[in-house]
Amino acid sequence: MTPNRRLRALLFAATAALLIPALSMAQGWPAKPLRIVVPVPPGGSLDLLARTLSRELSPALGQPVVVENVPGAGGNIAFAQVANAAADGYTILHGWDPLAINTSLYASVPYRLSQFAPITLAITSPQVLVVNPRLPAGSLEELLALARRKPGSLSLASPGNGSPGHLAGTLLESLTGADFVHIPYKGGGPAMADLIAGHVDAAIVTLPAALPHARSGRVKAIGVSSRNRSAGAPEIPTLAESGVRQYELNSWQGFFVPAGTPEAVIARLNREMVHILRNRDVKAQLEAQGFDVVASAPEVLAQELQNGTPRWAQLVKRSGAKVD
């Protein structure tokens, strides 16, 4: 055997030795319970989606799928936990915008985006601009006119410093020249409670957080942040069609496993999750909450993370938000 053939044979043998354990593991997977790590406390839109998926995923995989809430540090505790977990397909991260936002919002984060392998971009959900009904502004045009007449006098609440709602407000100010006083809260629920009570003039929160209050008349929905109207609330115009043509900002939720997880395992998880999300009843339930179901291939979520991270970083810089 020539030296070149001997080298090729050795390389083939080495590659096969590496692949055989991974293939063997994938063929026997899953052999024990799985867990979906949710980076927020129980309740809210992330928890809802994770629990909806876990109920359907368990019989599909033949193993229990447990939802584990790991809140704290803006999601960083959960992100780090999954980033450093075994790449065996048994630990799944329910990720959302802060996975990307936190890399520029915090001085340092205990993970790298390269430590995650995407499964699917599950849903998108726009932010929505809502105002107190007593405010003399029933449209975006009227709200902006009011803000320009009295710069710095109108308060705009968000679920927190550096949250998607805060950054959506930053984008609105930069595109319109309006000047609001940002009031950060610890979540969309408290922000909505104070808006309804009249303690703040307006808020930007997720559509699921605002939709029940908008439909009951306790707040007025001015516009959603997405390019197109939401399937869950087609009656609410987009901010773009309300006058700010360049405005587009969408929040997303998706699922990841640690990088290095066998491709066959990722493919199985993707197949099962997409099937569940596209189920007519599940899709209708999620759309009623204000979500737009995507149920994508892994590459779509990877592209969302790649394209969205620099844009979030620009908005974080413009907003001046920092969390230590």
Report how far residue 121's alpha carbon sits from residue 273's, in angstroms, rounded to the nearest whole number: 10
Same CATH topology for 32-125+251-319 and 129-224: the answer is: yes
How much is the pLDDT for 10? Answer: 45
Question: Residue 275: how many CB atoms within 10 A of its CB?
Answer: 14
Q: Which CATH class is domain 129-224?
A: alpha beta
Q: What are the distances in angstroms from CA 58 to CA 25, 27, 63? A: 19, 18, 5
80 neighbors 106 (Cβ within 8 angstroms): no
Report how far residue 215's alpha carbon sits from residue 211's, in angstroms, rounded to the nearest whole number: 6
Per-residue pLDDT tens digits for 148-196: 888 889 999 999 999 999 999 999 999 999 999 999 998 888 999 999 9
Q: Where are the domains of the chain?
A: 32-125+251-319, 129-224
Question: Residue 217: how many CB atoms within 10 A of its CB?
Answer: 8
Per-residue pLDDT tens digits for 60-89: 999 999 999 999 999 999 999 999 999 999
How much is the pLDDT for 204? Answer: 97
Report how far residue 130's alpha carbon sits from residue 138's, in angstroms, rounded to the nearest whole number: 10
Task: Over range 95-102, report the average pLDDT.
Answer: 96
Per-residue pLDDT tens digits for 248-286: 999 999 999 999 999 999 999 999 999 999 999 999 999
Q: Is 32-125+251-319 a CATH 3.40.190.150 domain?
A: yes
Name the DSSP letter for residue 237. Answer: P
How much is the pLDDT for 244? Answer: 94
Instruction: Determine phi and psi for 76, rounding to 5 degrees.
Output: -65, -30
**To 5 degrees, how large is the angle CA 257–CA 260–CA 264?**
75
